[in-house]
Amino acid sequence: MATYALGDIQGCYDPLLRLLAKTGFDRDRDRLWLVGDLVNRGPQSLEVLRFVKELGDAAVTVLGNHDLHLIMLAEGASRARSDDTLAAVLAAPDREELLSWLRAQPLMHVEGGYAMVHAGLLPQWTVARARSLAREFEQALVAEDYRELLAHLWGSEPPAWSDELSGWARMRVIVNAMTRMRFCTPAGVMEFKTKGELADAPPGYLPWFAVSGRQSADQVLVTGHWSALGLQIEPNLLALDSGCLWGRHLTALRLEDRALFQVDCAAV
């Protein structure tokens, strides 16, 4: 049995199939860990959703910001963007089945010394604390009144965590940290405008994973989201978004021995 962690797919179905063939993935024996952003901007989001859903227990995926955008768009809680490629999903005969399945996916997955989350964790959160907070959101997203949550989810305020937060503000900080964050201050104040490389960090801000004393540094974090960062393989960080959507590569890392597999995405 092998566990393959994959970077952001974003509707790039053909590269996904080529990558799985290259790894020798066997759905009856192996597992996939998918770092989120299954959909959007790539050409085959519908095919990706159907494929991953059909894998059942052979795949574990966490929610990314584009996955949440799809859910919110379907419920009228978000506006369509000019670069969205979600029309086929929204028009599909199995739309509701796919969206219900997507809503039920976790925001964070913790197993065997690894913690998988789409973007990152605030420096003051331990993995255990973050998992507890993620569970709060996951439960709200499948509750009967989940549409009320979606209606209040969009926005970048407040920009930092406090244990005193409650209600929609609390949910926004949890989701923004785990699906949108790149840079933050040592105190955990997030900044969402900058999407470039490490050298583009605003004054006073650091990549979230570089904050000294980060409380989640005792476990290996598996992430995606930050294509401009590129592939980062560190003792306690596996950042796997290698920019397939932008014509670079789709990456898989076998967790047991850190063997790396990549396919070229130039055709995308």
Q: Considering the chain, what is the average pLDDT of its residues?
A: 97
The full 3-state SS of 29-55, as one line of letters, equals CCEEEECCCCCCCCCCHHHHHHHHHHH
Exposure letters 19-28 (e unless 16+ CB within 10 A, then b)? bbeebebeee
The residues, any chain, with a CB within 8 Å of residue 193's CB and separated by 6 or more, are: none
DSSP alpha helices (H): ranges in 77-234?
A: 87-91, 95-103, 127-141, 146-151, 167-179
Using alpha carbons, list the distances in angstroms from residue 206 to 191, 194, 210, 226: 10, 11, 6, 14
| Cβ atoms of residues 187 and 150 within 8 Å | no
Backbone angles phi, psi at 202, to 5 degrees: -65, 155
Q: How far apart are CA 117 and CA 222, in angstroms?
A: 6
Token pair listed for 120: 């990152």
The structure tokens listed for 198 are 């490490």
Percent of the chain with pLDDT over 90: 99
Quote the longest CA-to-CA distance of the chain: 49
Tell me which residue range forms the domain holding 21.
3-264
Instruction: Give the CATH number of the domain where residue 176 resides.
Output: 3.60.21.10
Give the residue among 192, 123, 124, 208 at the shortest CA–CA distance from 157.
Answer: 192
- Look at residue 178 in the predicted model and tell me its pLDDT: 98
pLDDT at position 268, please? Answer: 74
In tens, the pLDDT along 122-163 reads: 999 999 999 999 999 999 999 999 999 999 999 999 999 999
The owner of tokens 């997955």 is 109
Closest to 62 (Cα-Cα) out of 141, 177, 179: 179
Q: Retrieve residue 181's tokens.
A: 């964050």
Nearest to 101 by CA among 43, 149, 53: 53
Average pLDDT over residues 92-105: 98
Burial of 256 (0-12, 13-18, 19+ CB in 10 A): exposed
Residues 100, 139, 117, CA angle at the centre, nearest 5°?
A: 85
Pairwise CA distance, residues 259 & 268, whole Å: 25
What CA–CA distance (Å, rounded) separates 249 from 91?
A: 29
pLDDT tens digit sequence for 239-262: 999 999 999 999 999 999 999 999
pTM: 0.97
Mean pLDDT in residue range 172-188: 98
> Partners of 250 in the beta sheet?
263
Q: How many domains does the chain have?
A: 1
Q: How many CB atoms within 10 Å of residue 29?
A: 10
**Helix residue ranges per DSSP H, 13-126:** 13-23, 45-55, 65-74, 87-91, 95-103
DSSP 230: -
Give pLDDT, residue 267: 73
